[in-house]
Structure 1
């Protein structure tokens, strides 16, 4: 996965070479110290020796600093490339993917998991390579200085490994569980904070606090388990260090007194001991982080390998003024009962077709199939004689304008929202004309900053009617050939509904229009009304035809139109 981000081999090589150079210099320092101790006298101390020692430390510092910077640069570049790939992938994943994956988990993959990979590269990778070099180099030099003492010193290390290796495995399990729990907690936060008004209006603060508290408590428990393992590792490392130090000082002191070892060599042994123990700790940490990165990488690759929408393949639409024909259309989600079964109808170009019926009948699902969010289980949808899946997604979806019951807005200005999805620059005249036809210009002009007024997250600073009119202005600016209206006025008050209905008339003019409606008063003048029950079409025709032929439609009409009669008058 790292290779796929194409990191600079030259920069990485320089960084690793700098680390190796720094480590080799560090291996040279104890030998210089040994010679100083063994032959130390003021008369023998020369400026050349002082310059050599000082230069050695300066070279090591520069090499180490340069290596750290370059590796951090590489790590940041890799994580940026990974996030870029993930972001691009997330935007082309089908709607079905988001039906099956929680938003918080997806966000966690994008942020936390990529961060784990970066940490491995920038903080631990060089420690691993240089640690191995430092350990091997130190042992080779120590064997050269005094192999007997080296064997005695190394006998303690297997004993330490008996404790440290199982603790490292335990730390990996804890770290993996911590990542999963962090993703779950992120999901809870995202869900609650995005619907905070629902939480407050439902007096659900206590319930959501309890849900969040469970996540916090679980994270706390993982943190305690991690702390317990760290509390064992740190003292054990210190114990090993002290045991080795005692062995070296005690046994080494005996050998110095017997003349088998010089005082300088004993000092060198102590310095090399540090260069063995510290890198071993870093190598252990690397393996723990490496296991965490493997887990994170598996989840990232799983997302990158997910099936995506193909926005390019297929032909461009040359004519959109053709009938939409639905042939034997059936659909069901991966888990669940069929939503649509053997649906057949025809939508003439430039006409208005209303889809009505009881809730849960599959009306909105048909819109999703028409926009190719999902693939039909059986049957086809045609534009003229061509199945719609022969057109490129980009070309097909560019034909549509969609206004829903809760028209979504993005955080930004009114201008941003009306122009959303328009790639080319929109001039002010076209913007104002679209707003005027949508009956949105009146309230926009009353805003302190006009079209540059911020609408808040999901347009919360605007009323429902204002949001709908901005959505209609957006659709008008997009100039779609096919219009879909999904309960576009059902949530509005009577005054806003009248204004929005007028705006919709402007939008529908000259376009093929499909309307989902529960209120029949909004669709009685449609060219065709299709009545859907439990995923099947049980009647179609004009309002007058269905009143005569369809009992349930007649019941709906009798109830609703009688109730709405005083309001319409």
Structure 2
């Protein structure tokens, strides 16, 4: 059931959500580190130590070159050569062990971060107000839960830990180069300001592009979801070409933005290599100067040149890892925009086991956007067990009204009382336990028939109770014809069942919940005559003894109601029984003649 069916107004994002997207990079990183990484600090320290060991052994391997050449090959000392050969093997083995430990632990931390972040995001989805779902498309929410959560982990764990390792490699290598030849190192140092300038430019561009990349990914997901769920409508109206163009536009935008991201990322690498090449050429040239030739041995020069060449990969990695960090932090802002969404208000303190079902509405008003009122001064009451039919033209506020009863939305004025208590004073879970809903668009889950019927019932519901509910809903006959009966999985949203079968499962689910208040929103409008006959029988049994609010255009449902409320432009124009309203010859009578007698 969609309360928005009564209005074209799109509700704004709550004020408390909007500032999250504007927060800076550092607060976002700090929040991720403290909340998601720091709890695993012991493993993190081990991973960092292992990374430092890997960085140190890489410098150690280069350092072995100097004595190997000077004391071994230049002096032609076989024993020294063999010693350093075995020492090299030991370095490589130790480095391999440390490499495995560091990468395994940082991956472990990353996957736990993803698990926790997705859990927090999914938990928030279950308690967010309906107004937030009205703001975000399903495709964008799913993108945050899947793609963007992965990007966050990539920035906070893998990328940051790589930053530590590569930074240590640079420090160790530069320190060793200074130890070998301070003058030559000074020449190399002239490229560092240029590198810093490149990284500053790249950082700024990455932050700008990654925002557009995430937006483009969400757009692709949103259109794809519409194509999947609305494939029949698209085909029926012959709009495949239109949808192809829509998706192609979003897909192309995603490709274009990602290519900008990659172009910036990869362009920085050859520039860095070019600068490193200039530095190496300068070192080689300086080594030809007589004053240096006398002090630099073959081993020293080879070791220095090797260290210089080994600087290129970590510097390159530092630039690319920064791209990953910026991309991940942009994703984190997007994810936290949902995680920080305030949950539904649940300040009630009154518990209730089972309500009598008396509903009283006084001066009720509601607006989605704070400006255009969908409901304006509604006053009505329903006694326990009464059937109340809500009638009126489209956009009159019928679906919005019934959405306020389970508090999917909060009134902007007036109040609704259940058994004399304002809805807001009840604990939210207790209130919703009093209400069952069956709508035109039935929601089923990719589970068995039995699990769908038992959805919302107590945990200790028996198979016999499930069977009785199915029988009361006129669903037992078709269920027993299914391949595995009640254990048959019905696919996503019950796609393997017909519309009438899905409706009967929804009715069986409502019967098993056995709530004192029932909301029926066009529960039979999309069915054929035979299916409607089955379902109407089931609905009659379901409504017995329950306070029922029915949105319907079916004559039998309206005529048999204890009270009919005629809504128009968000106001109650008339209310009474069918015969009373016909006798008035007012708006309901005109509506009735137009809808039924014609």
Per the normalisation by structure 1, the TM-score is: 0.94
Counterparts of residues 143-182 of structure 1 (less than 5 Å)? 143-163=178-198, 165-182=200-217
Taking the aligned partners of 1:117 and 1:368, their CA distance within structure 2 comes to 36
Q: Structure 1 residues 237 and 456 mapped into 2: Cα distance closer, same or farther (>3 Å)?
A: same
Q: Which residue does the alignment assign to 2:149?
A: 114
Given candidates 35, 57, 60, the residue that maps to 1:25 is: 57
Counterparts of residues 133-532 of structure 1 (less than 5 Å)? 133-163=168-198, 165-254=200-289, 258-310=293-345, 313-334=348-369, 337-532=372-567
Q: Structure 1 residues 299 and 226 mapped into 2: Cα distance closer, same or farther (>3 Å)?
A: closer
How big is each residue's C-alpha offset from its partner over 1:153-212, in whole Å with a ceiling of 9 and x where there is no partner? 222333444445424433443333222211111111112212111111111110000001
Taking the aligned partners of 1:10 and 1:483, their CA distance within structure 2 comes to 54
8 Å contact 2:357–2:517 — kept in the other structure? no
8 Å contact 1:355–1:514 — kept in the other structure? yes
Query: 1:447 Cα shift?
Result: 2.2
Taking the aligned partners of 1:557 and 1:127, their CA distance within structure 2 comes to 72
Given candidates 53, 68, 92, the residue that maps to 1:36 is: 68
Query: 1:504 Cα shift?
Result: 0.9
Q: Does 1:93 align with 2:124?
A: no
Q: Structure 1, unaligned stretches of length 5 or more?
A: 564-569
Q: Which residue does the alignment assign to 1:566?
A: none
| SS of structure 2 residue aligned to 1:98 | helix
Q: Structure 1 residues 561 and 159 mapped into 2: Cα distance closer, same or farther (>3 Å)?
A: closer
Q: Which residue does the alignment assign to 2:138?
A: 103
8 Å contact 1:355–1:529 — kept in the other structure? yes
Taking the aligned partners of 1:91 and 1:354, their CA distance within structure 2 comes to 30
Taking the aligned partners of 2:542 and 2:164, their CA distance within structure 1 comes to 66
Q: Structure 1 residues 505 and 71 mapped into 2: Cα distance closer, same or farther (>3 Å)?
A: same
Taking the aligned partners of 1:161 and 1:351, their CA distance within structure 2 comes to 75
Q: Which residue does the alignment assign to 1:7?
A: 39
Query: 1:528 Cα shift?
Result: 1.3
Taking the aligned partners of 2:254 and 2:441, their CA distance within structure 1 comes to 36
Taking the aligned partners of 1:452 and 1:336, their CA distance within structure 2 comes to 49
Q: Which residue does the alignment assign to 1:567?
A: none
8 Å contact 1:444–1:451 — kept in the other structure? yes
Per the normalisation by structure 2, the TM-score is: 0.89
Q: Structure 2, unaligned stretches of length 5 or more?
A: 1-30
| SS of structure 1 residue aligned to 2:287 | helix
Taking the aligned partners of 1:371 and 1:322, their CA distance within structure 2 comes to 13
8 Å contact 2:363–2:377 — kept in the other structure? yes
8 Å contact 1:364–1:516 — kept in the other structure? yes
Q: Structure 1 residues 80 and 224 mapped into 2: Cα distance closer, same or farther (>3 Å)?
A: same
Taking the aligned partners of 2:539 and 2:346, their CA distance within structure 1 comes to 29
| SS of structure 1 residue aligned to 2:388 | strand
Q: Structure 1 residues 511 and 243 mapped into 2: Cα distance closer, same or farther (>3 Å)?
A: same
Q: Structure 1 residues 490 and 376 mapped into 2: Cα distance closer, same or farther (>3 Å)?
A: same
Query: 1:322 Cα shift?
Result: 4.5
8 Å contact 1:124–1:282 — kept in the other structure? no
Query: 1:233 Cα shift?
Result: 2.2
Query: 1:320 Cα shift?
Result: 0.8
Taking the aligned partners of 1:550 and 1:393, their CA distance within structure 2 comes to 42
8 Å contact 2:55–2:172 — kept in the other structure? no
Q: Which residue does the alignment assign to 1:556?
A: 591
Q: Structure 1 residues 142 and 351 mapped into 2: Cα distance closer, same or farther (>3 Å)?
A: same
Q: Structure 1 residues 24 and 401 mapped into 2: Cα distance closer, same or farther (>3 Å)?
A: same
Q: Does 1:83 align with 2:114?
A: no
Taking the aligned partners of 1:561 and 1:229, their CA distance within structure 2 comes to 66
Query: 1:397 Cα shift?
Result: 0.6
Q: What number of residue pairs does the alignment pair up?
A: 563
Query: 1:348 Cα shift?
Result: 0.3
8 Å contact 1:360–1:534 — kept in the other structure? yes
